[in-house]
A and B are shown apart, each in its own frame.
Chain A
């Protein structure tokens, strides 16, 4: 059982000023997840009649993309995983007892309260074209078209993005390029995505700009922070798709 000095971001609402608040959290076991440590802190706060720290989370299995904390300066903390899959043994083993916790900060992610941010910009980027236009109804037999395994695998690797936004929080420019490229690349590698590939990439990139995300200058921090190991190769794919779309328009 260990104790930690926690510095955590508190902010009452979108328009209030925020600041770091200090707490000591005791009785923490290495098998506890990071969020269970915060549950423990919140339970203490509530018993003292104070409001708990708000943070987003739901599945706690590393798949829904809700959890979103910057821990000791890193999106999702020191390991390549989501905040909810980080365990306290990671700090115990490294003898780290000082922990700072902040929200994912970015122009495109305004703070709602404490460590909760508004990531609806991501939804609007998908609405701009991150889909295949097919209505429910008479799709052809699923095995009518074979898809070569390498293509299927590349598409899958890109489709594994959970939309958490860690890439944006880690990027100096707060760019959403890795997220956008993951979707573009997923659909560009499948025949189903072919018909709309030009409009898709243009519209998604334009929406990204409009939503206040920065531009990509190839720092590569996004890939390092991504819990699903989405590769920056997808950004190269996106750039290629984007150029093809532009050329497609000219000729």
Chain B
């Protein structure tokens, strides 16, 4: 596997502009002759499909929900970053770039992050032009707030529904192209394999989830915009349908998988209340603008929060990180919460929780202001927990939220398979070992609106307008379809005694215990032994009812869990091989005396890229070295 990041020459500020000039273009009259298949209609997929359609390409877009408007991006609450510097607090493209590289604990590719910071401003302009209703101040201009890991206010937001409003903007642009006939949308359709010939992407095999039909689609390029894989942990803040299938299938066809172990555990989620729980709910990080995080100083202090006087409270983030305080980056805030709970100072019935307290903010600003800022989040909290956060502090605990790892891509967003592009959360992207808040929306839209439509043209142009597409009758398609059908039949024919969910839960526990917030060599080795056993048990004992030719929710889930059962092992292997702590990857063996993450730049200043070598065979680990020419490789400090 060859890893050429194709980073353009020149100073970092000029790379993208130079690259755009150097790339080949497709003649407008020829664009419709190129068929581009886009899997996913979240922020990344919908924005890409809409823009490619506007440019005149022939686009086919797929999603598994009943409408592109329901992609998981819809759930993003807090906001989207941009370097507009509207508040005049000293922000700039360079500062956003710097914060993102530092936030990612120096494990991302400089050139990509710089481009992202540069494009961030165009995204806001475009979204406003589409009618996205961002929050405005009384003068009618756009309002900003702060997010973790930054000392400026650069986050644009739309109440607590930023993802929804941005996705609806992209969905509407996509709808316009569907009406114009440039994009054909296939909803309730799941991609089950990429079709690859001689390491070139030729198309996909999909299953219509309504009638079970398996069919092939041939294209000149394939784009995966299929989101993140946090659901490998069973419990996460992701939507129920989020999965790794598309990315994992591509990996098995030869696409390198980068840094699969980089997982973001979000510090502010509603704690688990019982085993019935199907998912966890995020309370946006924006709450840390006004909420103060604390636990009792005394071990086992069972008093009600309001009975604990201030000097008996430990506002541990403010104490440990005085300059960032409650706005310390996510990985640090999560680990600190785990630490105080491990000490036995956690709150709530389970002891796995810390307080997020708005008392002081309400005293200072009044309930009305707080309600205008966070009303819908407070309501959601009360609905789920039956407690009123205006009166009592919220209880929060970290939960799996985002996956920085993903398919490896070069500067053009192309994977190691020619013509297979990966955008949004599905690629290993720009966030290194930890993503800062409000930067996933930014990245998804940068990829979809502004980067991919430019870079893909260069690839397509090389083919020439008179190129031929592989017909779906070709042997590669026939074989891929047959493999998909065989797997479906295999799942239906096990006819064992355990439900799909019971396997998923068991895998989730193994992953959370051993590859979660804190990782140890021994635990990872155990997981690498246990997961294959569980996988074997799955294929011997799973029970999938119903048939292949109908709407079958058990079968859908079974296919996804089967992939998680292979992928979880890859994550553990990656975590085991990375003998350092960086961002969200905390190897307990590698920490400073104060319990902070200890990087090992001598040996691990690289992205790890895994190559598939066969079922049950050990994959090969490759490295893409990371060079820092514009940011000094330093120990992250938020003190």
Residues of A in contact with B (beta carbons under 8 Å apart): 12-13, 29, 31-33, 35-36, 39-40, 43, 46-47, 49-52, 54, 56-66, 81, 85, 87, 89, 112-113, 116, 118-120, 122-123, 126-128, 130-137, 139-143, 146-149, 152, 155-156, 159-160, 162-163, 186-187, 190, 192-193
Contact = CB atoms under 8 A, between A and B. Distances in A.
A29 B554 contact: no
Contacts of B69: 65, 123, 126, 163
Nearest to B187: A120
Residue picked from A49, A141, A143, most chain B C-beta under 10 Å: A143
Contacts of B179: 127-128
A112 B124 contact: no
B74 A63 contact: yes
A133 B173 CA distance: 8
A101 to B, nearest CB: 16
Contacts of A12: 550
26 contacts: A29-B274, A35-B278, A46-B545, A47-B543, A50-B545, A58-B65, A61-B239, A63-B75, A63-B164, A64-B72, A65-B74, A119-B67, A126-B171, A127-B175, A127-B176, A127-B179, A131-B130, A136-B47, A136-B449, A139-B128, A142-B84, A146-B136, A147-B140, A149-B136, A156-B159, A159-B168
A149 B240 contact: no
Given A47-B543, A136-B54, 11 more contacts: A31-B274, A33-B384, A35-B278, A39-B276, A65-B69, A66-B65, A89-B386, A123-B68, A139-B122, A142-B125, A143-B86
A141 B282 CA distance: 32
Contacts of A52: 545, 553-554
B313 interface: no
Interface of B: 47, 50-51, 54, 65-70, 72, 74-75, 84, 86, 122, 124-131, 133-134, 136-142, 158-159, 161, 163-165, 168, 171-173, 175-176, 178-179, 185, 187, 210, 239-241, 273-274, 276-279, 281-282, 380, 383-384, 386, 449-450, 453, 497, 499-501, 543, 545-546, 550-554
B242 to A, nearest CB: 9
Main secondary structure of the interface of A (DSSP, over half): loop
Nearest to A191: B131
B164 A163 contact: no
A134 B51 CA distance: 10
Contacts of B54: 135-136
A120 B67 CA distance: 7
A244 B453 CA distance: 39
A159 B133 contact: yes
Contact of A51 (B50, B70, B449, B545): B545
A140 B453 CA distance: 20
Given A127-B176, A132-B131, A140 B125 contact: yes
Contact of B72 (A59, A62, A186): A59
Contacts of A31: 273-274, 276, 386
A135 to B, nearest CB: 5
A51 B176 contact: no
A136 B453 contact: yes
A189 B13 CA distance: 39
A113 B136 CA distance: 44
B383 A187 contact: no
A58 B50 contact: no
B173 to A, nearest CB: 6
Residue picked from A87, A156, A192, most chain B C-beta under 10 Å: A156
B554 A46 contact: yes
B44 to A, nearest CB: 13
Nearest to A133: B176
A156 B129 contact: no
Contact of A59 (B75, B86, B136): B75
Report the 9 A-B pairs with minimum CB-CB distance, sorted nearest first. A146-B140, A131-B172, A139-B129, A139-B125, A142-B128, A113-B551, A127-B179, A156-B133, A64-B70
B175 A123 contact: yes
